[in-house]
Amino acid sequence: MIHPHLTRLVRLLAFVPVLACAQGTLADYERANGLRERNQALAVNLAERATWIDKTSRFWYRKSVKDGHEFVLVDATTLAKTPAFDHERLASALAKASGEKVAALKLPFLTLTFVEEQQAIEFAAFETRWRADLKDYACHKLGPVRSFPRRAGLPQTLPPATLGPQASPDGKWEALIVNYNVHLRPKGKREGFELSFDGSEGNSYEGRSISWAPDSKKLAAYRTRPGYHRKIQYIESSPEDQLQPKYSSLEYAKPGDAVDIQQPVLFEVESRRQTIIANALFPNPYQLSRPVWWKDSRGFTFEYNQRGHQVYRVIEVEAATGRPRALISEEPKTFFCYSGKKFRQDLDDGGEIVWMSERDGWNHLYLYDGAMGKVKAQITRGNWVVRGVEKVDEERRQVYFRASGMYPGRDPYFVHYYRINLDGSALTPLTEADANHAVSLSPDLKYYVDTWSRLDLPPVAELRLTADRKTVAEIERGNIDDLRRSGWRPPEVFTSLGRDGKTDIWGILLRPSNFNPSRKYPVIEFIYAGPQDSFVPKSFSPYFAMQSLAELGFIVVQIDGMGTSNRSKAFHDVCWKNLADAGFPDRILWHKAVAAKYSFYDITRVGIYGHSAGGQNALGALLFHPEFYKAAVASCGCHDNRMDKIWWNEQWMGWPLGPEYIACSNSENAARLKGKLLLSVGELDNNVDPASTLQVASALIKANKTFEFLMLPGQGHSPGGAYGDRKRSDFFVHHLLRVEPPEWNVIDKKPEQEATSQ
């Protein structure tokens, strides 16, 4: 007979969460590795965003079907829906032309372009551009997939146009660079004359910057004084085609480097007059956009981004006098987000300008009087953000735009679409469903396709009339019945208050498929706190990579903390000169709120991983918040913002370089390391200088710190592919689950040994 006290004890223990056991096993790994293929096969009719064909009333989209995907063509006027082409014939023809294996429902491209009045399609596959004739399905090579050489540190502001002669609009003249100066000659002739004489090796005119006035009487060009053109040196240790290493270099500007200084110059053809534009309005350029002339040739404009990104101007130069003036000037206290929140469209040849700005604390649209250089109307306003402009209908004086945060009580990151008049009146929603939307407007604005979904709701695609927003037809509705029957569950959306006690912080949780609420699970956070966007998924997917990690016995989460984008300007400004913050005060409060609600959520065992800026964040968690985070995997991290590309880091950390760079540096703070760390880097990383990771490793060694390090030979800006994924999983299984991962060296050899013995 069992003692009564023991019976009561057993009953009490049944309600106490216990550590997860028998997890991180080979069976768990095998199940995790099969999740993507299994889940994707069980979700069908998942429509991707629609693409309209030229100026027609027809559009195409790609959708999931059993065993793969297919492309669908729809006529909006007749509602006829057919395959976009014969998938079997195209697969066969492409296989024959390329020499590669091609399956009809697994075509090696995601997007295409209809050409030749829809009698052919063009697409990219196997590093080649192809054209397929839809009559006989013959596939013809168009050339390699285009890739333009670039300076890794600087954004490409001038197009990679030809450096040869630039013809005038009337066809009479050609302008080109000869001996570093602007040279003019009659079209088709070899002899001509110089328009400038002040160009030299160290202060040369740029052929790409030459911009003719529409009347062919004037032209503008930039004279450029080169800055410091830094190069990163690479060693490819293990090339495929030879034994010895290969050496290469990449031009790569870093924060603080001297940048190219561009000076606009105006030329008059008949008089050969040269006017150097006074630079008082653009004294310290980080970059100038290419000169663009008004259609009536009265002048040209360019955009000035000041070094440090705290002054951004649209500048007009009067052709008759060369006098510059600022049409628009943004001068925020922190940064002007030129890399994600800049929009400009000129109307009526510059009579009006639609402009995007965060000047009232939220990202909105403004209408400028182009002649006066003053705001005529704030087009959008309120405690919500414009996410982008789809179309400015100049004839009807309307703007079609996407925005988020307009509906109280809904996820403030859900994108909805709207129409509004240029004077700010008649705001009209084009989408209603409580979901994340992607709208495609027809070229004539008569129709639009609204494709919407949530994490728990598969995509629905509807064809609608723009005039009254009525639904013409439901084009597609995703089916996940089989997926649900398999035991799949969507990520859970969770919110808590951030550090200010009033702002909602949004994130998601993913559980293993064999989740047991009576157990306690270690927590792993996937982090990317780059200020250029927000990152927590909002749209449906049958599979997220985080789910495979959760399958090993973890709760995996992702959070958007303060300092990321798509909320208020104040929310975003937390990152300013403070990238080490990474929203951690909000993230930790979020974790604690989840733990207060769920007993299975073990915040005594929290790990974190991230890549690139997320790699910087992941290591930063152990350096600056070791009381909370216990283990981290950081791949290809920009661990010191002085070592990474100039445009990204000066945008958020400012210029000139100050003590904030050192305060935020993982290398400078490496001696603070507590917890378990795995660092990895690709030796050929052309996004973040690989030395950034190696310098962290050096600092950790000097501080006598213990950590794991993985160099990935031959790999670029990558966490390591399948091998890197497994190393990360093993690391967390060992340090958070506290069990040993499978013996891969033994397991991997078994099939070979068995084959040999047979």
Note whether 554 and 511 are within 8 A (CB). no
Question: Pairing mode, if any, of strands 218-225 and 261-268?
Answer: antiparallel
List C-alpha distances in Å: 613 to 305, 636, 649.
24, 8, 10
| DSSP 8-state assignment for residue 278 | P
Q: Could you tell me the two tokens for 711?
A: 């160099």
DSSP-based three-state secondary structure for 26:
helix
Protein fold of 11-40+483-745: Rossmann fold (3.40.50)
Beta bridge partners of 441: 448
Within 10 angstroms of residue 420's Cβ, the number of other Cβ atoms is: 18
Low-confidence spans in the chain with pLDDT less than 70: 1-22, 147-163, 748-758
| CA separation for the pair 722, 547 (Å, rounded) | 15
| CA separation for the pair 413, 436 (Å, rounded) | 8
Question: Pairing mode, if any, of strands 504-510 and 139-144?
Answer: unpaired
pLDDT given at position 23? 85
DSSP-based three-state secondary structure for 681:
strand
| CA separation for the pair 88, 202 (Å, rounded) | 58
| DSSP 8-state assignment for residue 310 | S
Give me the count of residues in the chain: 758
Each residue's pLDDT tens digit, 123-141: 999 999 999 999 999 999 9
| CA separation for the pair 333, 429 (Å, rounded) | 33
Q: Could you tell me the two tokens for 390?
A: 């789809």
Q: Report DSSP letters for 244-277, one per residue.
A: S-EEEEEE---TTPPPPEEEEEEEETTTTEEEEP
Note whether 511 and 544 are within 8 A (CB). no
pLDDT given at position 163? 62
Which residues have CB under 8 Å from 479's CB, separation 6+?
43, 44, 45, 458
Residues of the chain with CATH 3.40.50.1820: 11-40+483-745
| CA separation for the pair 579, 581 (Å, rounded) | 5
| CA separation for the pair 334, 80 (Å, rounded) | 52
